[in-house]
Copies of this chain bind each other. A is one copy, B any other.
Amino acid sequence: MHSALARRARRGGKAVKRQPAYPGPVKPVVGVLGGMGPMATVDFLTKLIARVPAGTDQEHLPLAIWSNPEIPNRTAALMGCGPSPVPALLDGVARLLDMGAETIAIPCNTAHAFLDQLREATGATFLDMIDATAAAAATAAAGDDHIGILSTRGTRAAGLYAAACLRRGLQPIEADQLDQELLVDVAIEYVKGGGHLDLAARLIETAVFRLVERGATVVIAGCTEIPIVSGRASASVQIIDATDCLAAAVVDAVWSR
């Protein structure tokens, strides 16, 4: 299985039988491994389209999107209380390579805990949402090194943002255990459920405020569900939207090619 994936990746992901009359899009195909959750994928697509400097349909980027909401919960797996999402993620990567994807973006922060496994198993080219976001936070912090982080329990347990911040000499400040459970986790659940968005926004606003109290000058919205509501929050601190950072990374990677 893995070697078939690797072969496909080496061919640049071009597995689709080309139509004689249509050789496929001219621009490179961006793959999106999504559905974690579905609205977060749509939020990412909206931000990606907004960032492409196109004036007509035809100038936009071709996208292959696999949105599989049935991928097992990433946080549950990382907390040791659910099945691994890796087989379902690899299945998605295979489908995207079949569709002709050359570069793959995963609009789910927590799924990045498995990024090394996906890279090793497939040899495909992935963009790194965590690294792109930490880079944007470093720029925004402009010398002050206290970066607040809001994420799922899984992202936090895997230490994704803490490690990315430390690699850039930034000091990560994560929500304390109680705020994680009572504010962040609940807000994420509300957004995933599609209801109570105003309440979720208030919870995130409170969580941001508590990080600011502890010295954060910039806060990373490091779960794709959070930027969906953090725009409604009236926080006075700069929020770094990880979803938008991934969109920017896609445009950087493929637009000029």
Interface status of A237 (Cβ within 8 A of chain B):
no
Closest to A39 in B: B49
| A68 proximity list for chain B (CB < 8 A) | 25, 62-63
B65 A58 Cβ-Cβ under 8 A: no
| A27 proximity list for chain B (CB < 8 A) | 70
User: Contacts A4-B17, A45-B45, A87-B22 known; A69 to B59 CB distance under 8 Å?
Assistant: yes
Closest to A27 in B: B70
| A99 proximity list for chain B (CB < 8 A) | 64, 66, 95, 98-99
Q: Which residue of B15, B21, B62 is within 8 Å of A87 (Cβ)? A: B21
Q: In residues 24-58 of chain A, which contact B (Cβ within 8 Å)? A: 24-27, 35-39, 41-42, 45-46, 49-50, 54-58
Smallest CB separation, A247 vs chain B (Å): 12
Copies of this subunit: 2
For chain A, the count of residues having a C-beta within 8 Å of the partner chain is 55
Closest to A57 in B: B37
| A10 proximity list for chain B (CB < 8 A) | none
The interface of chain A, by Cβ under 8 A from chain B, is 1, 4, 15-22, 24-27, 35-39, 41-42, 45-46, 49-50, 54-70, 73, 87-88, 90-91, 94-95, 98-100, 192-194
What are 21 of the A-B contact pairs (CB < 8 Å)?
A1-B17, A1-B19, A16-B91, A19-B90, A21-B87, A22-B87, A22-B91, A24-B91, A35-B62, A36-B57, A38-B63, A41-B45, A54-B69, A57-B69, A58-B69, A58-B70, A63-B65, A63-B67, A64-B95, A64-B99, A65-B67
